[in-house]
Amino acid sequence: MAVPINSVPSHNVEKVMYSATVQTTINDSDRHDSVIGGNKKSLDEAYDFLCSHDTTQAAGLDIKRIRRKIDYYVMPLFYLNFLAQFLDKSLLAYAIIMGIEKDLGLKGNELNNVVSSLWWAYLVASAFTGPVLNKVPVGRFLALSMTCWGVIVSCTATVQSYGGLMGIRILMGVFDAAIPPALMLLTSQYYRKDEAALRFELWFTAAGSGLLFGGFISFGFQHVHDTSLESWRIMFLTLGILSIVLGVVTWLLLPDTPMNARFLTDAEKAAVLQHVAVNKTGVSSHKFDWSQATAALTDPQIWLLTIGNAVVSIGAGILGIYGVSLIRSFGFTSKEAALLTAPAGGVAIVLGIVAAFVLRYQWMPRWAVAITGYTLSLLGSCLVAFLPKSNKYGNLIGIWMVACSLPTVGLKYHWITANVAGHTKRSIATASVSAATAIGNIVGPYAVQKKDAPEYQPARITLVAVKAGAMVLIGALTVYYWMTNRRRDRLFGPPPPEVDNVSSEASVRSDTWANLTDKERKTFRYVL
């Protein structure tokens, strides 16, 4: 039953009425809906929490101290989950130089089929990931996916044939598809847009760590000799078990939203929600909105980010699986090639950390950071493609420089959560950008053909093309954001200045937490 405004105590009036254009009705059967601009919109779960708790205590809390507390608690879990996902997925590249192709009797394009099968499954699963993430507790879903992922990685140690390996990789792709989108959504819940860029880059340095650790792990396992079990099988079994343990720990420790974070007090939770309210993207809502699904499929920024990620991932598909083989083709042994992949990871880690702090302190805009990374990566690709093949150290430096573009993927992840509002739309957008990774990794390995060995020149030229294409797409995205912001300023006037925290009164206004898309919010402006 609706409650008339005049029956609400005066100190709660602000919770149900805030302007002539926004009418909010508190209804016993559907308190998550609000009528805004004549349209019924679902409200964020944060609104419920703030309405049912005393938010005045949050005003005196130090948000910097709370943010550090969040960093110490959730960031290690984000980093470790992405590290496990990236590292486990890369093990096949090391298994190739450890003899898996010979041990399983793979012929012709069977190895390429095995490589791409994970990504075909990932692509199909991504079509369901967006709607699922919109409906389930995201932290628990991440933990369950990581646990199942670890079980499947461990089972790789038992495969005896091409068909068995294909089956394992397909199952890996299904569970893999949930991990990056879940991490994107979880990160966006705790931080403002200007703070989130730093955190996205920091946990994405796990990709560089995967390259760094992977080389040493492969080198170490190549010295493990057992008459009953090949070294690559022991490697998969060991890393898979560690991923299972991580999945269980994530289930026990990682909250689904700030509202159920056990390491925060109620006042601290309210302070966090007030702090992130300026994002205008919300925290959590499990109501699926078909109009937002349509909006996601027709949004130019999502298409540009998706295509850009697909193009870049073609290069990742080449080096992710055949990077070690390419280094070996320069004239190094298998053990040396494994070790020489590690510096590329170091390059990605250092540049990721530098990019994180550049973005945090706004020394450069996001687009400039992305273009810088791609420029360095393009230069490295040119060294690999056009230097004489006898110059093995020049080619090796080129391989390391290609990794300069790795931090830009974390930047795209941040863009998709910072610039896409509306829970259903954002869930679909994160899944779409993640699915683009699959498309690139499906296409990339087929640029490496046995007939082109040992130089693999078509693959080298492909690296140059994709890095140049990525720069063009980032430029187009930047122009789109700039033109859209100018048009919105012209139509609606400049948006009100952002403040560090939304007041306790404003934080319980339903327009603050209405499940609106970035297109529907007139005050929304895209971050460049």
Q: What is the pLDDT, as a whole number, of residue 4?
A: 41
Confidence of residue 19 (pLDDT cuts 50, 70, 90): very low
The arithmetic mean of pLDDT across residues 362-379, rounded, is: 92
Most confident segment among 12-21, 421-430, 490-499: 421-430
Residue whose entry in the numeric block shows the structure tokens 């559907």: 30
* Beta strands across the sheet bearing 33-36: 17-19, 22-23, 33-36, 39-42
When comparing pLDDT for 228 and 517, which is higher?
517
**pLDDT at position 39 over 60:** no
User: For residue 147, what pLDDT band results from cuts at 50, 70 and 90?
Assistant: very high
What CATH code would you report for 62-279+288-491?
Answer: 1.20.1250.20
For residue 33, give the 3-state DSSP assignment: strand
Lowest mean pLDDT among 215-229, 251-265, 454-468: 215-229
- In this predicted structure, which of 21-30, 300-309, 312-321, 460-469 has the lowest mean pLDDT? 21-30
Residue 28 has pLDDT above 70, yes or no: no
32, pLDDT greater than 80 = no
Instruction: Supply the pLDDT for residue 9.
Output: 40
Residues 6+ apart with CB under 8 A from 387: 394, 395, 398
φ/ψ region of 23 (left if φ > 0, alpha if ψ in -120 to 50, else beta) reads: beta
Report which of 353, 391, 396, 395 is spatially closest to residue 373, judged by C-alpha positions. 353
Structure tokens at 488: 């919105």
Q: What confidence score (pLDDT) does residue 283 get?
A: 65
What percent of the chain lies above the pLDDT cut of 70? Answer: 87
pLDDT at 141: 94
More confident residue, 112 or 378: 378
Residue 72 pLDDT > 80: yes
For residue 266, the tally of other CB atoms under 10 A from its CB is 15
3-state helix, strand, coil in the chain (%, to 5): 75, 5, 25
Domain boundaries, the chain: 62-279+288-491
**Which pLDDT belongs to residue 130?**
78
- Express each pLDDT in 274-322 by its tens digit: 888 877 776 666 677 888 888 889 999 999 999 998 998 888 878 876 7
pLDDT in the model for residue 482: 95
Q: Is the four-CA dihedral 184, 187, 188, 192 of positive or negative sign?
A: negative
Higher pLDDT, 501 or 233: 233
Looking at residue 509, its pLDDT comes to: 53
**Number of helices (H) and strands (E), helices first, in the chain?**
21, 4
469 band by pLDDT with thresholds 50, 70 and 90: very high
Q: CA-CA distance, 121 to 204, in Å (whole number)?
A: 23
pLDDT value at position 42?
A: 65
What does the pLDDT read at residue 67?
A: 92
pLDDT band of residue 387 (cuts 50, 70, 90) is confident
17-21, 177-181, 340-344, 403-407: least confident range: 17-21
Mean pLDDT of 41-52: 74
The closest of 490, 71, 521 to 277, measured between CA atoms, is 521
pLDDT 10s digits, 324-356: 778 887 888 888 887 888 888 888 899 888 988
Mean predicted lDDT score pLDDT of the chain: 82
Q: How confident is the model at residue 371 (pLDDT cuts 50, 70, 90)?
A: very high
The answer for residues whose C-beta is within 8 angstroms of residue 479's C-beta and 6 or more apart is none
